[in-house]
Amino acid sequence: MTPSTRPTASTGTETSTGATASTIDDGTDLLSRAAALDAADPLAALRERFVPGDGDLVAYLDGNSLGRPLLATRERLSRFVDEVWAPRLIRGWDEGWMDSPLTLGDTLGRLTLGAAPGQTVVADSTTVMLYKLARAALSARPGRTEIVLDSENFPTDRYVLEGVAAETGTRLVWIDPDPSAGVTADQVAAVTGPQTALVVLSHVAFKSGYLADVPAITDIVHRDGALVLWDLCHSAGVVPVELDDWDVDLAVGCTYKYLNGGPGSPAFGYVARRLQGELRQPVQGWMGHAEPFTMGPGYRPAEGMRRFISGTPPVVGMLAMRDMLELIEEAGLDAVRAKSLALTSYVVEVADRILAPYGVEVSGPREPERRGGHVMLSHPAFRELMPRLWERGVIPDFRPPQGLRVGLSPLSTSFTEVTLGLREVAGLLGDLP
- The set of catalytic residues is 154, 231, 256-257, 405
Report the length, in residues, of the chain: 433
CB–CB of 240/337 below 8 Å? yes
Cα–Cα nearest to 404, from 385, 382, 426, 419: 382
Cα–Cα nearest to 368, from 388, 344, 387, 386: 344
Rounded distance between C-alpha atoms, residue 292 and residue 130, angstroms: 23
Neighbours of 66 (CB within 10 A): 19
C-alpha 231: how far from its chain's center? 9
CB–CB of 309/103 below 8 Å? no
**DSSP secondary structure, 199-250, as one string:** EEEESB-TTT-BB--HHHHHHHHHHTT-EEEEE-TTTTTTS---TTTTT--E
Eight-state DSSP code of residue 48 = G
- Listed as own residue / partner, the contacts of 114-119 with beta carbons closer than 8 Å and 24 or more positions apart are 114/240, 114/241, 114/242, 114/243, 114/244, 114/245, 114/246, 115/243, 115/244, 115/270, 116/244, 116/273, 118/273, 118/304, 118/305, 119/243, 119/244, 119/270, 119/271, 119/272, 119/273, 119/276, 119/305
Tell me: cis bond preceding 401? Omega within 30 of 0 counts. Answer: yes
Cα–Cα nearest to 132, from 279, 313, 21: 279
Helix or strand or coil: residue 187? Answer: helix
Cα distances (Å, whole numbers) of residue 137 to 102, 214, 310, 398 = 21, 18, 17, 33
